[in-house]
Amino acid sequence: MAFVITQSCCSDAGCVSVCPVNCIHPTPEERGFGSSDILHIDPEACIDCGACADACPVNAIFPADRLGAKDKVFIEINAGYYKDNPDISSGWSDVVYPEIPRLPAGLRVAVVGTGPSGGYALRTLLNRTRAHVTVIDKLPTPGGLVRAGVAPDHPSTRDVMRTFDLLHRDPHVTMATNVEIGDDVDHGQITPAELAEHFDAVFYAVGASQSRRLGIAGEDLPGSIAASDLVAWYNAVPGADGPSIPNDGTGRAVVVGTGNVALDIARILVSPPDLLARTDIADRALGLLRSQNVHEVVVLGRRGQRDAAYTEAEYRALSTIEGVEIVVHDEADGPLPDLSGPADPSRRRIVFLFHTTPQSAVGEDRLESVTVATGGREHRIAADLLVRSIGYRAVRIPGLPFDEERGHFPNADGRVVDEAGNVVPGAYVLGWAGRGPSGGIGANKQHAIETVERFIDDVANERIRRPATEPEAFDELLRKRNRKVVGYRGMRKIDRREQAAGEREGRPRVKFTEISDMLAVAGRRRR
C-alpha cells in the first residue's frame, strides 16, 4: 500500500531525492514548492519501498494502512494533489550529479545562525567543500526558530535538529555559541568587519524575528504584544518578556493575522493547560496560562477566508483540540457574534472574523478592548490580550547593509549588496533574512543550497578575498572578547540537562530560561 505524507511535513525534500520513481511533488524545481502545505506522494506511482520514510527528518511519512484516525484524511490530500495537478507526472528518472570545481585549500567559512537555513548551508558546505566552518549563534543553545519558533505542541517538527547535531560534531566544524554579532565590542560582540577579516566567507542566517506593527492607537498598552515576543516567551527564549494578562479579566484574546503563526498562538492560548503540560512549553508560560486560563481567542483577517495565509494542514489541526469549538464568520454571515462582554468560561472556542480590521486598542492602564471594523461598521471586542501577527522583519546588524523599508538584508541571489548595488565580497545572506518572511523549512533549505553553490562559484572564479590572518587568530579574538563562549560539549551538556529534567516530569524537556543557568551547566569552552 502507498506511503502517505502527513501534517508534520517540513518540506525538507530529502524524501524527493531518495524516491526512485520520482513520485513526491512538488519538487524544489516545481511551482508551489515552499508555499505548499506539505509534499505529496502519488499513490498510483508509489512502489512502497519506504525510502522516503527513512529519509524524513520529522517522521511525517507512513504507510496508508498504519495511519491514525486523525491522519487518514491525508490519504485523500496526497491523492487529491495529483487530481488537481494533472500536468505533474511521476516515473523513473536519471540521477543528476552536480559539477564540483576544484577549490583552493584552507578555506575558512563562518555561518551565523543555527536554524534550518544555517544548518542546511553547513551541510552543503561540508558535502561540497573541504572548508573549516565556524558556526556562531547568539544564544548558548542551537536551533534558531526551530527551538524558539515552532509551537511546543508540534514536537516532531523539531526533529530536524537531530540531523544538524551530527554536523555540529564534524571535525571540520567549530561551534561558538553565546556569541553575538554587532558593534558593541565592549560587551563581547564581534563585528561583521572582524568576521570578514578572519574568514573567506560569512553566511548570515539570522532569520526575521521582529514583528511588524499595526500602526493603531493604543498599540503599546500593557496587554498588547508582538507575536514574535509572545512565541519567544512561551518557547523559553532567555530575556523574552511575557504578556500582561489579569487573572480576573475577560478570558479572551485577539490575534490580528491569519498566518500559521497566528493559528499556533490561538491554539496555544486556548488549549487546556493540562494538555500543554505534556509539552516543552516554558514553565513561566504554563504557570500564567493556568492562572488566567484564556477560554476564547478571536482571530482577525483583513480579507476573506479564501485569502487566509494559513495552510490547510494548520487549520485542520485546530479541529483536533479536544473541547475547543471553531467558529468562522465571514462578511456575508450576518451580524458579528456578541463579543462585547467576557468570554463564557464554560466553553473554549476560536472565533475567526474575516473582512475585519483592528481600529484601536482601548484601555486606561492596560488593554480592555479592541475596536474593529467589519462591513463599514465598528464593533467592540472585550479582551485582555492583543497579539499582532502580520508579518516579520529581520533585525539590523550594525556594519551590514540593511533595507529598512523591506526589513531584510539587500542581496543579489544570496550575495549581500551595498547601497549602490555592489556585491560585498564574501558576505552572503540566507533564508528569511534575505528572502523575507515567506516559505518554510523546505524553501529555506533550497535557498541555502543555492547560495552555497554561488559561493563555490565565487571561489572558483576568484571573486572572494582570502583572509590574511592565521587560522587560530579568530579563536584568540573570541577568547579575549568573550570568556563565556559555549562549544559543542557545552551545548550537549545543556541539552542533556534539559532532557533529564523533562524525563522526571513526563515531558520532552524542561527548557532553561536564563542564560546564566545555561552557562553554569555548559562550563568553560575547550579550544
Question: Among residues 488, 485, 414, which one has the least CA distance to residue 454?
Answer: 414
Name the grid cell of 335: 451580524
Q: Looking at the DSSP assignment, which residues form a beta bridge with residue 374?
A: 356, 377
Residue 89 lies in a domain: no
135-160 pLDDT tens trace: 999 999 999 888 888 889 887 777 78
Burial 264-300 (b: 16+ CB within 10 A, else e): bbbbbbbbebeebeebbbbbebbebbeebbbbbbbbb
Query: Which of 341, 356, 388 is the C-terminal boundary of a domain?
Result: 388
pLDDT of residue 334: 74
Tell me, what amino acid is at 497?
Answer: R
Q: How far apart are the C-alpha atoms of 493 and 506, rounded to whole Å?
A: 20
pLDDT of residue 302: 94
Query: Which of 370, 388, 406 is the C-terminal boundary of a domain?
Result: 388
Residue 103 lies in a domain: no
Q: How far apart are the C-alpha atoms of 442 and 13, rounded to whole Å?
A: 6
pLDDT of residue 159: 78
The domain spanning residue 438 has which CATH number? Answer: 3.40.50.720
* Residue 335 sits in the same domain as residue 371: yes
* Residue 65 sits in the same domain as residue 173: no
* Residue 224 sits in the same domain as residue 346: yes
Name the grid cell of 477: 579574538
The domain spanning residue 31 has which CATH number? Answer: 3.30.70.20
Question: Among residues 80, 363, 362, which one has the least CA distance to residue 371?
Answer: 362
Q: What's the length of the chain?
A: 527
The domain spanning residue 235 has which CATH number? Answer: 3.50.50.60
- Contact criterion met (CB below 8 Å) for 418 and 192: no
Q: Looking at the DSSP assignment, which residues form a beta bridge with residue 354?
A: 301
Residue 114 lies in a domain: yes
The alpha-carbon radius of gyration of the chain (Å, integer) is 24
Residue 360 lies in a domain: yes
How far CA 356 is from CA of 143, 232, 234, 295, 373, in Å, comes to: 36, 27, 27, 21, 6
Name the grid cell of 389: 501577527
Q: How far apart are the C-alpha atoms of 278 and 505, rounded to whole Å?
A: 9
* Residue 223 sits in the same domain as residue 148: no
φ/ψ bin of 190: left (φ > 0), alpha (ψ from -120 to 50), beta (otherwise)? beta
- DSSP letter for 98, please: P
Residue 121 lies in a domain: yes
- What is the phi/psi pair of residue 37, to 5°? -50, -55
Q: Looking at the DSSP assignment, which residues form a beta bridge with residue 372?
A: 358, 379
Give one DSSP letter per residue of 194-253, joined into a string.
Answer: HHHHH-SEEEE-----EEPP---BTTTSTTEEEHHHHHHHHTT-TTPPPP---TTS-SEE
Residue 146 lies in a domain: yes
Number of domains making up the chain: 3
Q: Which residues of the chain have pLDDT under 70?
A: 93-98, 332, 524-527
* Residue 331 sits in the same domain as residue 229: yes
pLDDT of residue 247: 80
* Residue 364 sits in the same domain as residue 225: yes
Query: Which of 388, 416, 449 is the C-terminal boundary of a domain?
Result: 388
* The 423-429 sheet, strands edge to edge: 173-177, 132-137, 108-112, 201-204, 423-429, 415-417, 411-412
Instruction: Measure the CA dihedral 375/378/382/387, to 10°.
Output: 70
Q: How far apart are the C-alpha atoms of 407 and 384, rounded to whole Å?
A: 30
* Residue 191 sits in the same domain as residue 301: no
* Residue 342 sits in the same domain as residue 236: yes
* Residue 171 sits in the same domain as residue 220: no
pLDDT of residue 525: 66
Residue 100 lies in a domain: no
Task: Find the domain containing 30 and state its range.
Answer: 3-84
* Residue 384 sits in the same domain as residue 437: no
Cell numbers 544555517 correspond to 118
* Residue 19 sits in the same domain as residue 36: yes
Q: How far apart are the C-alpha atoms of 197 and 468, rounded to whole Å?
A: 7
Residue 466 lies in a domain: yes
pLDDT of residue 526: 59
* Residue 242 sits in the same domain as residue 356: yes
